[in-house]
Amino acid sequence: MSNTLPSTRSLVAQALHYIDEATGGVVPPIQPSTTFGRDENYELLGAYSYGRYGSPTVTKVEEVLARLDEGADALAFSSGLAAFAALFETVRTGQHMVAPEIMYHGGQDWLRMIAERRGIGLTLFDQTKPGALEAAIRPGETAIVWIETPVNPTWDVIDIEAAAKAAHEAGARLGVDATVATPVSTRPLEHGADIVFHSATKYLNGHSDVNAGVLVTGQANPFWEEIFVNRKYLGSILGTFEAWLLLRGMRTLFVRFEASSRNALKIAKHFKDHPKLDGVLYPGLESHPGHEIAARQMTGGFGGMMSVLVKGGEADAKQVAAALKLFVPATSLGGVESLAEHRKTVEGPHSLVAANLIRLSIGIEEADDLIADLEQALATL
Ligand SMILES: *Cc1c(COP(=O)(O)O)cnc(C)c1O
């Protein structure tokens, strides 16, 4: 086998390449043991001692995840937010955090809570305004600058390289939620980020049947060690069966992401000037304010996430969402089935999301069928 495999696709194929020595099986086995034995000298027989610290099937998925983002190491968690919590557990009282005004709402809610409970500063910046991120950072005080790109659910695109530069100049670390871009399209460590986050519940698994989260680090350093210790004591490691399912899902990550991206671009172009819409938010459209950065930063496609702004107001948007027949009205994203959601309804009191916005997660069905479904739903207005 060649030792110079250039693309991430090839690296992942290599990481997933597997032959079970005992049986010749081409997929890894599930090792569900929660405890691991010792020899006559009371030394551990292998690399593991107890399932809450680590286990073989979880290690296997972490190896693939580290390769996907070309990082030094990865840790798998029982959900995206479990990963998020283990990371932000490192922030001490008196320190400060920076995050976008619009981002995954559950994560932002948690930042607000820990800021209040633990006496940590929190500044939310307007992710659409040049210079706002830089202005939010407090040199020497800010511990973590958090960005998400594209931003859920407006799909604003944040320049990772510029954010990394600003964070590092102030002695802070940059964490990037790249759930929507996936490593197929954006690998934040290459742009200077310190930590990459994914809700693996979404595209990485891709089948809407596993809750999982991931952190990938550029460097195995004491900070990373602290995150590992947090996972150990929070007890938030990914379960064995879920790890195995995630390994299975990732085998098709590239083809799923590419199919969703292709569909989404076609749908976005079809609806961008639709008379019943105030607009389509999709970074693949040249009219999108983040398109220029996206074209540079999202090298493997613009992804399957978009939002439509329905003419009228909240009632009209909800009517359209309810009239869809092929799109499933449900939260979440990144599965093979297309989903539609009136986002403001689920985000709660702090939400800055427009009341006429419907978020669409584009799956791998026929684009023309999805277009026809949206057309018939808009025609009910
Ligand atoms: C879903 C999601 C999360 C949270 O992940 P869970 O797996 O639900 O805990 C974080 N960020 C983004 C962008 C998400 O879509």
Ligand 1 proximity of 100 Cβ (cutoff 6 Å) = no
Ligand 1 proximity of 202 Cβ (cutoff 6 Å) = yes
Residues 336 and 278 in one domain: yes
Q: Which of 88, 104, 353 to mutate to test the pocket of ligand 1 (most atoms within 8 A of CB)?
A: 104
227, 250, 273 — which closes off a domain? Answer: 250
Residues 140 and 245 in one domain: yes
Ligand 1 proximity of 284 Cβ (cutoff 6 Å) = no
Ligand 1 proximity of 79 Cβ (cutoff 6 Å) = yes
Which residues have a catalytic role annotated? 52, 104, 177, 202
Cα of 81 vs centre of ligand 1, distance in Å, is 7
Q: Which residue ranges of the chain lie beneath pLDDT 70?
A: 1-6
Residues 161 and 32 in one domain: yes
Residues 75 and 205 in one domain: yes
Helix or strand run (H / E) with residue 33: none
Cα of 343 vs centre of ligand 1, distance in Å, is 14
Nearest atom in ligand 1 to the alpha carbon of residue 332 is 1
Q: Which residue has the tokens 């034995």?
A: 37
Residues 279 and 327 in one domain: yes
Give the CATH number, domain containing residue 290: 3.90.1150.10
Residues 122 and 154 in one domain: yes
Q: Which of 146, 148, 201 to mutate to test the pocket of ligand 1 (most atoms within 8 A of CB)?
A: 201
Residues 153 and 202 in one domain: yes
Residues 280 and 314 in one domain: yes
Nearest atom in ligand 1 to the alpha carbon of residue 148 is 13
Nearest to 194 by CA among 227, 172, 226, 169: 172
Q: How far apart (Å, rounded) are the C-alpha atoms in residues 297 and 102?
A: 20
Q: Give the pair of three-digit tokens for residue 355.
A: 């009341």
Give the CATH number, domain containing residue 165: 3.40.640.10
108 located within any domain = yes
Q: How far apart (Å, rounded) are the C-alpha atoms in residues 88 and 97?
A: 9
Give me the domain span that covers residue 223.
Answer: 6-250
87 located within any domain = yes
Ligand 1 proximity of 182 Cβ (cutoff 6 Å) = no
How many domains in the chain?
2
Q: How far apart (Å, rounded) are the C-alpha atoms in residues 289 and 299?
A: 17
Phi/psi class of residue 26: alpha, beta or left (left: φ > 0; alpha: ψ in -120 to 50)?
A: alpha
- Cβ-in-10-Å burial (0-12, 13-18, 19+) of 188 comes to buried
Residues 71 and 187 in one domain: yes
207: helix, strand or coil: coil
1 located within any domain = no
Residues 224 and 297 in one domain: no
Ligand 1 proximity of 106 Cβ (cutoff 6 Å) = yes
194, 227, 250 — which closes off a domain? Answer: 250
Q: Give the pair of three-digit tokens for residue 202.
A: 């979404």
Strands 195-199 and 173-177: parallel
| Other residues' Cβ atoms within 10 Å of the Cβ of residue 39 | 8
Residues 229 and 288 in one domain: no
250, 284, 302 — which closes off a domain? Answer: 250
Residue nearest to atom 11 of ligand 1 (CA): 104
Residue nearest to atom 4 of ligand 1 (CA): 80
pLDDT at 2 (0 to 100): 38
Q: Which of 87, 109, 152 to mutate to test the pocket of ligand 1 (most atoms within 8 A of CB)?
A: 152
CA pseudo-torsion sign 135, 140, 141, 147: positive
- Residue pair 54/35 in contact (Cβ under 8 Å)? The answer is no
Q: How far apart (Å, rounded) are the C-alpha atoms in residues 352 and 136?
A: 19
pLDDT at 6 (0 to 100): 53
- The Cα angle at residue 157 between residues 153 and 8, in degrees rounded to 5: 105
Nearest atom in ligand 1 to the alpha carbon of residue 103 is 13
Residues 107 and 202 in one domain: yes
Residue nearest to atom 9 of ligand 1 (CA): 80
